[in-house]
Structure 1
Amino acid sequence: MWANYQASKGFEIVIINDVKDAKSGKKFHLLFVSNDKITQIVLSTSKIAETVLYPDDRKQKKPVTSVTIRLTNQTMAHQQVVVDTQGTYEYVLHISSSLMEEKNVEKAVVLAVQRGMTRVWLWNGEGGTPDELIDGIVEFVNVVGGHVGIPDYRLKRLPVVDNMCWKYGDHMDMAHFLRYCETMKNGFIERLNQAMESSWHDSMVDDALGMPAWQLCGSYYSL
């Protein structure tokens, strides 16, 4: 276990390599731990997530006291990162050791940590926010951070159910729509995140937009 306290960020960073004797674990140590690169990745991705979710420094942020990066060979249902809490505002990012087999290992690790750090900073309505919306916001941050792009063919793929086009669809489709909402209503993502601090109800999307969401669904599909 390796730990480093980042006073400037206010949270402790802990690195745990569960597969240190395996090929993937040795590669992780060589490329990311021995040179402190993983710490810098945590800090840089945290900054991106904070900038997107909390652009106004006057707004109170979600408290974060500790972030643990844990390289694991546990099966994670095709996910490359899973975020758990181990205490009050202490978070563990379980990173799949399979990332060490990627052609561009550093890019894969950065993308996984970015997804994890966005979930760390993102409120989720005490677990009530729809998973599709959370996943979409996570990918929206990846897009803003320049980690991924969104192919044009995804522009009109979100299904509309009960006048809502933000509640269903995959994460990339959702990210595209959320980017459109942010463009049309600046500060939408920040307002939505703040609203999700302690509860969730579907009207929060309307409130954060300042208009019924179905109206933007309509204009989005007319692009």
Structure 2
Amino acid sequence: MNGVAYTRDDEIHISANYIQRYLGDIKTEITGVVYHEMTHVWQWDRSPQTVAPRGLIEGVADFVRLKVGYAPSHWMKPGQGNQWDQGYNVIARFLDYCDSIRNGFVAELNKKIRNGYSADYFVELLGKIVDQLWSDYKTKYSN
């Protein structure tokens, strides 16, 4: 298979080719991948009415990987990136910031996504539009 791993029907599939080619600490890497993929099992991203951006869904999974201590060293550091939805690990870092404003934010966001997606969820949960939150995030790490 191409890529690293995927989850379908609550089953996690990890690429044997990826494992074979990986040069670092394979136990740590695979543990991180499993945390990421397990997140997809409990996420609300599979119903027909849920149209959350794929990057956000993957960013939440990387957020979980980050929170349990399995973020790879090659990920962007806090404050890096040009926009909040630039890539999975940028989103993870941004969601970590949002979660620091309101503990449980990511879980609440996941709950709301059950019935569809709206950028207004950031306003409902944190009181600011996502672009303002991104600006605040960038300011926090600009020093």
Fold match by TM threshold 0.5: yes
| Superposed counterparts of 1:1-223, under 5 Å | 75-76=1-2, 79-85=3-9, 91-101=10-20, 102-103=22-23, 104-124=25-45, 126=47, 127-148=50-71, 150-152=75-77, 155-159=79-83, 166=84, 168-223=85-140
Report 1 or 2 for greater relative contact order, CA contacts < 8 Å, sequence distance ≥ 6.
2
Q: RMSD of the TM alignment (CA)? A: 2.0
Gaps spanning 5+ residues in structure 2: where? none
Gaps spanning 5+ residues in structure 1: where? 1-74, 86-90, 160-165
Q: Helix, strand or coil for the counterpart of 2:7?
A: strand
The superposition leaves residues 26-68 of structure 1 with CA deviations (integer Å, 9 ceiling, x where unpaired) of xxxxxxxxxxxxxxxxxxxxxxxxxxxxxxxxxxxxxxxxxxx
For the Cα contact (< 8 Å) 2:29–2:70, is it kept in 1? no
Cα deviation for residue 116 of structure 1 reads: 0.9
Cα deviation for residue 118 of structure 1 reads: 0.7
Q: Helix, strand or coil for the counterpart of 2:12?
A: strand
The superposition leaves residues 145-198 of structure 1 with CA deviations (integer Å, 9 ceiling, x where unpaired) of 00015553x514132xxxxxx3x3011111111111111122211110111113
Q: Which protein is richer in helix relative to its size?
A: 2
Max Rg structure: 1
Cα deviation for residue 125 of structure 1 reads: 6.8
Aligned length: 134
Following TM superposition, the consecutive aligned residue runs of length 4 or more in structure 1 with deviations greater than 4 angstroms are none
Q: Which protein is richer in strand relative to its size?
A: 1
The superposition leaves residues 44-94 of structure 1 with CA deviations (integer Å, 9 ceiling, x where unpaired) of xxxxxxxxxxxxxxxxxxxxxxxxxxxxxxx23xx2111112xxxxx1211
